[in-house]
Chain A
Amino acid sequence: MTTMNQPRKNLAVKTQLRPSVVAKQALPWVVPITLLIVWQWASSAGILPSRFLPSPRAVVSSFIDLSISGELWMHVRVSTLRALSGFVVGGGVGLLLGLLTASMHWAEVLLDTTIQMVRNIPPLALIPLVILWFGIDESAKLFLVALGVVFPVYINTFHGIRSVDRGLLEMGRTYGLSGWALYREIILPGALPSILVGVRFSLGLMWVILIVAETISARSGIGYMTMNAREFMQTDVMVVGILLYAILGKLADLLAKGLERYWLRWNPAYQTAR
């Protein structure tokens, strides 16, 4: 009985496979596309005034206009550069601080309390002070992004290093590893999964802080473009700016995921195809 049933079952699975795969890939897009259609319909029917929200078609055409004129890319470049430089500075400081406090007891005693206190201040609460200190030029934005990014990286680096397998450390020492070699072979790779969690978290935070910083005080960047559009009631440009943040955020996340998949390819938990 069972041997007879087996091939039949397989056949059934195979014939059902195709539609189910297509449905699986299409399913996540059903809601956004429906929303888009409803939105377009509401705009063209006059229910949704363009003063309030532009039609999708208007958004697309203003996107095309802005990219042809090159204005869009200038703003995107400026914003991305700010975000990344803030991330590099803040992430680097967080990584170094985490390495230091997790490895040296005296550093933990000396610094951890201070870091935990500063961590609980929302970076955006510092905006008035930051404007006072740096004005509204680049360093203000860099400072805010870096400050926001430091702590997720710091905490996860600290935690990652503290949770490195003691057995592996002991083994490494019996094989004569110490100092930098011990870090390179065991401590850093062991802490990497945790550090990457911090990096992913930071990348999300990086955009949030930059958006606010650019909206409040800037002369270029996506946030500036959006705020400027508000003054001229260009709702379509405002929506383009908002969508750009969504896309850039998603790109940053994809980058972090790619890093995870490459650096943690030894880990069965990250080997799943998708």
Chain B
Amino acid sequence: MTVSFSSREVAVEQARCSRGVFVGIKNVSIAFGERTVLESFDIEISAGEFVAIVGRSGCGKSTLLRSVAGLETPQSGTITLGEVAASGSNGKPDVRVMFQDSRLLPWRRILPNVMLGLEPGLIPQARKVLAQVGLAERANDWPATLSGGQRQRVALARALVHDPNLLLLDEPLGSLDALTRIEMQQLIEDVWRSRGFTAMLVTHDVAEAISLADRVILIEGGRVALDEVVNIPRPRTRGSARFAALEERILGRVLQRRPVVENQW
């Protein structure tokens, strides 16, 4: 991957405070018919923080993300997004979602896909972001000709061109092969560090959560089961002992329920 951000380290700290937005989820309950997905759920995410949300399939982690995005309406509770002081966007934070599938419009070429919802005058900006994700030369191709990983990079570019205050990532790397995943993780981390938006990543890959996030939150039975700060300096290497120990602990906690059930036999 040829992604480089010049003078990254310098820019990081100031950028973090300026772009990111606070997210407060308070007493949120969501149910689909009889089934309760989230029950009086509380978390707070500070501006510019990268939070990963892990849990078993169907634990409600995607629903949580979708309700922050405004795609689901909670039955009760409040979700507040902080005001944006710096940008001139009338104080309303810009929230973008990256889904598990890229959701590119198959009938638009790559550049128009990145430009979705933008003024035509912003073409140079879109090209710049496309170059950042390493796909500048594919601007005039159809999405059907791109690989899965490339499509996700276009989806990332489409989100980034809006310079979001909050980026919601709903298992965006779930369908990619192992090598492409690692590349994409690096790309997402680099972009986050240079731009400083707040990020919420839903994943079932604990290693992915640890390598990217400041904080890993485990959801179980619709509640926060674990809220763990990742104190490993970046860039993080998966082989390190601290990484492995933390992964072991979180995985152990995720899998905890099964042995209990089996012991009854």
Report which A residues bind B (CB closer than 8 A): 165, 167-168, 170-177, 185-186, 189-190, 192, 264-268
Contact = CB atoms under 8 A, between A and B. Distances in A.
Which of B95, B101, B105, B109 has the most A CB atoms < 10 Å from its CB?
Answer: B105
Contacts of B69: 174
B42 to A, nearest CB: 25
12 contacts: A170-B71, A170-B103, A171-B97, A172-B116, A174-B97, A185-B108, A189-B107, A190-B107, A266-B106, A266-B107, A266-B108, A266-B143
A167 B99 contact: yes
B99 A171 contact: yes
A183 to B, nearest CB: 13
Contacts of B103: 165, 167-168, 170-171
B243 interface: no
Contacts of A264: 107
Contact of B116 (A167, A185, A266): A185
A171 B113 CA distance: 12
Given A167-B101, A168-B103, A186-B105, A267 B144 contact: yes
Contacts of B105: 168, 185-186, 189
Nearest to A169: B103
A186 B107 CA distance: 9
Contacts of A267: 106-107, 144
A170 B158 CA distance: 15
Interface size classification for chain B: 20 to 34
A174 B107 contact: no
A177 B116 CA distance: 9
B96 interface: yes
A97 B109 CA distance: 30
Interface in B42-85: 69-71
Given A186-B105, A267-B106, A176 B117 contact: yes
Contact of A174 (B96, B101, B106, B144): B96
Given A167-B101, A266-B144, A267-B144, A177 B107 contact: no
A173 B117 CA distance: 10
A171 B105 CA distance: 10
Interface string B183-215: 000000000000000000000000000000000
A173 B116 CA distance: 11
B169 to A, nearest CB: 13
B156 to A, nearest CB: 13
Interface in B93-135: 95-97, 99, 101, 103, 105-109, 116-117
Given A167-B103, A175-B117, 20 more contacts: A167-B99, A171-B99, A172-B116, A173-B71, A174-B69, A174-B70, A174-B71, A174-B96, A175-B116, A177-B116, A185-B105, A185-B108, A185-B116, A186-B105, A189-B107, A192-B107, A266-B106, A266-B107, A266-B142, A267-B144
Interface string B135-167: 000000011100000000000001000000000
B95 to A, nearest CB: 8
A185 B16 CA distance: 34
Nearest to A175: B117
Which of A167, A174, A267 has the most B CB atoms < 10 Å from its CB?
Answer: A174
Contacts of A265: 142
Contacts of A186: 105
Contacts of A268: 144
Contacts of B143: 266
Contacts of B99: 167, 171
A165 B103 CA distance: 9
Contacts of B144: 266-268
Contacts of B109: 266
A173 B72 CA distance: 13
Which of A185, A190, A264, A265 has the most B CB atoms < 10 Å from its CB?
Answer: A185
B217 to A, nearest CB: 23
A215 B106 CA distance: 46
A267 B97 CA distance: 25
A265 B140 CA distance: 13
Nearest to A186: B105
Contacts of B107: 189-190, 192, 264, 266-267
Nearest to B96: A174
Which of A175, A185, A186, A264 has the most B CB atoms < 10 Å from its CB?
Answer: A175
A264 B70 CA distance: 33
A190 B109 CA distance: 14
Contacts of B95: 174
A177 B117 contact: yes
A177 B97 CA distance: 14
Contacts of A192: 107
A127 B69 CA distance: 57
Which of B70, B97, B116 has the most A CB atoms < 10 Å from its CB?
Answer: B116
